[in-house]
Structure 1
Amino acid sequence: MKHICCIILCFCTSIGSYAQNFADYFQNKTLRVDYIFTGDATQQAIYLDELSQLPTWAGRQHHLSELPLEGNGQIIMKDLASKQCIYKTSFSSLFQEWLSTDEAKETAKGFENTFLLPYPKQPVEIEVTLYSPRKKTMATYKHIVRPNDILIHKRGVSHVTPHRYMLQSGNEKDCIDVAILAEGYTEKEMDIFYQDAQYTCESLFSYEPFRSMKGKFNIVAVASPSTDSGVSVPRENLWKETTVHSHFDTFYSDRYLTTSRVKSIHNALAGIPYEHIIILANTDVYGGGGIYNSYTLTTAHHPMFKPVVVHEFGHSFGGLADEYFYEDDVMTDTYPLDIEPWEQNISTQVNFASKWKDILPSGTPIPTPITERKEYPVGVYEGGGYSAKGIYRPAYDCRMKTNSYPEFCPVCQRAIRRMIKFYVP
Structure 2
Amino acid sequence: MKLLLSILVAILCIGNTYAQKFEDYFVNKSIRVDYIFAGNSSAQQIYLDELSALPEWAGRKTHLNEVPLKGNGQIIMKDIKTQQVIYKTSFSSLFQEWITTEEAKQTAKSFENSFVLPYPKDSVEVVALLFDSYGKETSKLKHIIDPKDILIHQKESAHIPYKYIIQNGDYSQCIDIAILAEGYTEKEMQQFYADAEIACQSLFEHEPFKSMKSKFNVVAVASPSTDSGVSIPKDCLWKKTAFSSHFDTFYSERYLTTSRVKQIHNALAGIPYEHIIILANTKQYGGGGIFNAFTLTTAHHPLFRPVVVHEFGHSFGGLGDEYFYEDDVMNDTYPKSVEPWEPNITTLVNFSTKWKSLLNTSTPIPTPVDKKDKYRIGVYEGGGYSSKGIYRPAYDCRMRTNDCTEFCPACQDALRKLILFYTEK
2:331, 2:385 within 8 Å by CA — same for their partners in 1?
Answer: no
Give the Å deviation of 1:81. 2.1
Counterparts of 1:259-278 in structure 2 under 5 Å? Answer: 259-278=258-277
TM-score, length-scaled by structure 2: 0.95
Q: Give the Cα separation in 2 of the matches to 1:17 and 1:199.
A: 43
* 8 Å Cα contact 1:280/1:300 also seen in 2: yes
Please give the secondary structure, in 2, of the residue aligned with 1:251. helix
Distance 1:131 1:83 in 2: 22
Q: One-letter code of the match for 2:278?
A: I
Partner of 1:320: 319
Q: Which runs of 5+ in 2 are unaligned?
A: 1-14
Q: Quick check: 1:318–1:415 contact (8 Å CA) kept in 2?
A: yes
Amino acid at match of 1:325: F
Shift of 1:359: 1.1
Cα distance, 1:160 vs structure 2: 2.4
Partner of residue 219, structure 1: 218
Which amino acid in the other structure matches residue 251 of structure 2? Y
Do the aligned partners of residues 30 and 48 (structure 1) sit closer, same or farther apart at CA in structure 2, a change above 3 Å counting? same
1:111 is matched with 111
Query: Which segments of structure 1 move beyond 2 Å, counting only runs of 4 or more?
Result: 15-18, 330-333
Work out which structure has the larger RCO, using CA pairs closer than 8 Å and 6 or more positions apart in sequence: 1
Shift of 1:82: 2.0
- 1:285 counterpart letter in structure 2: Q
1:83 shift after superposition: 1.4
Per the alignment, do residues 17 and 240 of structure 1 end up closer, same or farther by CA in structure 2, a change over 3 Å counting? farther
The 10-residue stretch of structure 1 (76-85 or 124-133) with the greater mean CA deviation from structure 2: 76-85
Fraction of identical pairs, as percent: 67
Partner of 1:50: 50
Q: Per-residue deviation at 1:17? A: 5.5
TM-score when normalising by structure 1? 0.95
Give distance in 1, aligned partners of 2:156 and 2:193: 21
Per-residue Cα deviation, 1:153-190 (whole angstroms, up to 9, x for no partner): 11134x42110000000001110000000000000000
Rounded to whole Å, the distance in 2 between the matches of 1:104 and 1:46 is 16
Distance 1:288 1:247, change over 3 A: same
Give the CA deviation at 1:333. Answer: 2.9
1:49, 1:59 → 2: CA distance?
A: 22
Alignment check: 8 A CA contact 1:209 1:413 kept: yes
Segments of 5+ residues of structure 1 without an aligned counterpart are 1-14
Match of 1:244 in 2: 243
1:144 maps to 144
Where does 1:18-417 land on structure 2 (aligned, <5 Å)? 18-157=18-157, 159-329=158-328, 331-417=330-416
What displacement does 1:18 show?
3.6
Query: 1:115-134: CA deviations, max 9, x gaps?
Result: 01000000000000000001
- C-alpha contact 2:71 2:91 (8 A) present in aligned 1: yes
Partners of 2:17 and 2:50 in 1: CA distance: 29
In 2, Cα distance between equivalents of 1:344 and 1:372: 23
C-alpha separation between the residues in 1 aligned to 2:38 and 2:236? 27
Residues 79 and 123, structure 1, Cα contact 8 Å, conserved in 2: yes
Q: Report how far residue 242 of structure 1 moved.
A: 0.3
Q: Which moved more, 1:307-316 or 1:357-366?
A: 357-366
Give the greater-gyration-radius structure (CA). Answer: 2
Change in 2 beyond 3 A, CA 1:404/1:147: same
- Residue by residue, what CA displacement relative to the aligned partner does 1:17-66 show, whole Å, maximum 9, x if unpaired? 54111011101100000000000001110000000000100000010001
